[in-house]
Structure 1
Amino acid sequence: MDKPRIAVVLFNLGGPDRLDAVRPFLFNLFADPAIIRTPAILRIPLAYALSRRRARQAVPIYRQLGGGSPLLANTEAQARALEAALADRYDARCFVAMRYWHPMSDETAHAVKAFDPKRIILLPLYPQFSTTTTASSIRVWDLATRAAGVDVPTSTICCYPTEQGFIEASAKLVREAYDRASAHGRPRVLFSAHGLPRRVVRGGDPYQWQCERTTEALVARLGIPGLDWTNCYQSRVGPLEWIGPSTDQEIERAGRDGAPVVVVPITFVSEHSETLVEIEIEYRHLAQTHGVPWFERVPAVGAEPAFIQGLAALVGRTAETACGVCSERGGQLCPAGWRGCPQAA
């Protein structure tokens, strides 16, 4: 009996693959209406100005990473691991569609069409749903498939903030870092997520709520009595009010308290500039200058076997249903009131 032929499309943000790609990558980011929510007549000139200014700061960051982002290579490794995990049940091929740099959705849509699947599963590598990430990727994917003439039944896995494999893989890495830090005092665990402007959350985006559910699940999985932990948010840019507390403020507070720090990137499943530079280099330096006795960065889950098996289970459950948009539970995960939830009534 032939195995079902499915295409799994992994969404991620993307990153510049060389230094002269930094500025166009940033332009694509700031030109996204999900990021800067103004009319195009204002947004495009603003994106041009912001990308020009921010490139001066970003180029040295990517130079520290060897001249480009490792995100595509990491995502490709996850895709190949997921294909292997699905091979027993499906004739599956995993594709990568980046939002702001190559390969982007228009390129990937043509590759998916050539594969000729009977079903497409969209799998964002953002465990927590946000209108600024998953929803933006879905929007451009829909445009790309229409332009490419892809007409295949499609389901989207919108979110999996507490999926068992994701939590198991994360907890394993946290425990290893926590045990090392424990030799230097009682560690404080900072569950750090990418920040959002507060007005986006007030507008109904469920991202912060889902981040908090991830942390709760991780704390429960760790089972460490009296664990000292907090949710915090990194990568703030611009003058808007952002959700908090900020990760840098929490590192400074840990220094005042003399607590070792363990930083857990709960929203990043692949290594890139925000884990390898912002956390590993900039936050480590901040910790040292504020008297933190020990600093640990927990790696992203990457291709950890439990994480990949969890993704395979999500794909399998989704492929066996007719749902258009599925959370880790199938139905709506977010409580009523989060208007940005893709399953909101």
Structure 2
Amino acid sequence: MTETATTFPDTVRPSAERVGVLFANLGTPEGTDYRSMRRYLGEFLSDKRVVDLPSWKWQPILQLAVLTRRPFTSGAIYRSIWNETDDESPMMTITRRQVEALRAAAAERFGEDVVVDVCMRYGNPSTSDVLNRLAEAGCTRILFVPLYPHYAGPTWATANDQLFRALMAMKRQPAVRVAPEYYARPSYLDALAASVEEAYARLDHTPDVLIASYHGMPRRYYEEGDPYYEQCLENSRLLAERLGWEPERIHTTFQSVFGREEWLRPYTIEHAADLARQGRTVAVISPAFAADCVETLEEIDKLIRDAYESAGGPRFDYIACLNDSPAHVDALLEVVEENLAGWVAPLNR
């Protein structure tokens, strides 16, 4: 029997090697209709990092109860803040602007051999699609940067999980680095402090309390070793230090409670109402969010504001997330530069 020889090309042209920087955010529904919302919520709430109940127990509840009703209510909430001009959520609009600014800044700092892109943990653009797009663009090394200042299993860890799952499906895997959380970086704290100072400068009074409202998580996650709670407390302490304030001027609270079990306390909505009954003026900032989204624009600036005002509060002011502000872009670029060390050197240094 004659064996057929495998034919190889006489020469192999090496592709130009580039470095990719892949930012990752949570994600967003593609529309406010029932099907879009159900698809997005189904993916999000099926993530074991988000809801870690056994599938046999959680999936019947999710499929038969939660996903029957919640897409309608969530769709109405998203419609109240939807960017109708671009037909997308505000978080998608802001994240796109962030990445456009980071892409321009990276080109100036590193040249054209560094490619910047963004993916979403849930929905589109998916981690797998963008990872493959970077590989096709010649990126043999990729820095992965989750857009969360703090580490938490339901945010940072699940973004990494999805990256690693995408890598498992690739025939030719790029070398990968994952940037660490950045809540304690001086440049991030400077940007956060500057946003407070600029917001206060626009007010005709000085709020009695600055509420630092972080996304919540079940208390059990903290008891099982998740460092998120401690990092949030430290973030607030460092912010007060940056502002030159006494620590008690910043109150750390947690929002977005879901389900029946105990979550990290105090809850923002309850604490804001308590301050209202004391007649104290408040401003609210959201250090855990890199971009304004439904949790800030609808939950804080509408739901929590309403709870505060209904309790008789005299003045409530919301301070926007860092979004695509130059200081935030500079802080994120600093994260990129530090974590690309040894792979690529900045120009003119």
Normalised by the length of structure 1, the TM-score is 0.87
Partner of 1:337: none
Whole-angstrom CA distance in 2 between matches of 1:186 and 1:103: 40
Aligned residues of 1:168 and 1:307 also touching (Cα < 8 A): no
- Structure 1 partner of 2:290: 269
Mapped contact 1:134–1:158 kept (Cα < 8 A): no
- Give the Å deviation of 1:230: 0.8
Match of 1:102 among 124, 128, 147: 124
The answer as to whether partners of 2:106 and 2:116 remain within 8 angstroms in 1 is no
Give SS of 1:211's match.
helix
Of 104, 127, 130, which aligns to 1:84? 104
**1:65 has 2:81 as partner:** yes
How far apart in 2 are the matches of 1:110 and 1:43? 33
Question: Larger deviation: 239-248 or 14-23?
Answer: 14-23
SS at match of 2:284: strand
Query: Could you tell me how far apart the structure 2 residues matched to 1:133 and 1:154 are?
Result: 19
Q: Is the 8 A contact 1:109 1:148 kept in 2?
A: no
User: Which of 5, 8, 18 lines up with 2:31 in the alignment?
Assistant: 18
Alignment partners' CA distance in 2, 1:150 and 1:126 = 28
Q: Which has the larger radius of gyration?
A: 2
Question: For the structure 1 residues 239 and 195, does the alpha-carbon distance in structure 2 shift closer, same or farther, using more than 3 Å as the test?
Answer: same
Question: How has the CA–CA distance of structure 1 residues 39 and 150 changed in structure 2, closer, same or farther, with 3 Å as cutoff?
Answer: farther
Q: Which residue of structure 1 aligns with residue 232 of structure 2?
A: 211
Give the alignment's Cα RMSD to 1 decimal. 2.0
What CA distance in whole angstroms lies between the structure 2 residues aligned with 1:237 and 1:181? Answer: 33
Contact map agreement 2:240 2:247 (CA 8 A) in 1: no
The equivalent of 1:113 in structure 2 is 135
Residue 57 of structure 1 aligns to a residue whose secondary structure is: helix
- Could you tell me which residue of structure 1 aligns to residue 55 of structure 2? 40
SS in 1 for 2:27: coil
Distance 2:115 2:158 in 1: 23
Q: 1:175 aligns with which of 194, 197, 203?
A: 197
Name the counterpart of 1:127. 149
- Shift of residue 295 of structure 1? 0.9
Q: Which moved more, 1:16-25 or 1:243-252?
A: 16-25
How many residue pairs match? The answer is 319
Given the alignment of the two structures, is residue 228 of structure 1 paired with residue 249 of structure 2, yes or no? yes
One-letter code aligned to 2:29: P
Greater alpha carbon shift after TM alignment, 243-252 vs 174-183: 174-183
- Once the two structures are TM-superposed, the CA of residue 142 in structure 1 deviates from its matched residue by 1.0
Contact 1:264 1:298 (8 Å CA) reproduced? yes
Q: What fraction of aligned residue pairs are identical, expressed as a percent? A: 29
Aligned partner of residue 121 in structure 1, secondary structure: strand
Could you state the TM-score of these two structures normalised by the residue count of structure 2?
Answer: 0.86
Counterpart for residue 298 of structure 1:
319
Structure 1 residues 321 and 40, CA, compared in 2 at 3 Å: closer, same or farther? farther
- Structure 1 contact 271–300 (Cα < 8 Å) conserved: yes
Is it true that 1:308 corresponds to 2:329 in the alignment? yes
CA distance in 1, matches of 2:307, 2:200: 19
| Secondary structure in structure 2 of the residue aligned to 1:123 | strand
How far does the alpha carbon of each residue in 1:169-207 deviate from its partner, in whole angstroms, 9 at most, with x for none? 211111233345562x65211000000000011110011
Q: Which residue of 2 aligns with 1:338?
A: none
Residue number in structure 2 paired with 1:198: 219
SS in 1 for 2:178: strand
Deviation at 1:46, TM superposition (A): 3.2
- Distance (whole Å) between structure 1 residues aligned to residue 237 and residue 342 of structure 2: 29
Contact 1:181 1:260 in 2 (8 A): no
Which residue does the alignment assign to 2:277? 256
**1:118 partner letter:** T
**Helix, strand or coil for the counterpart of 1:158?**
coil
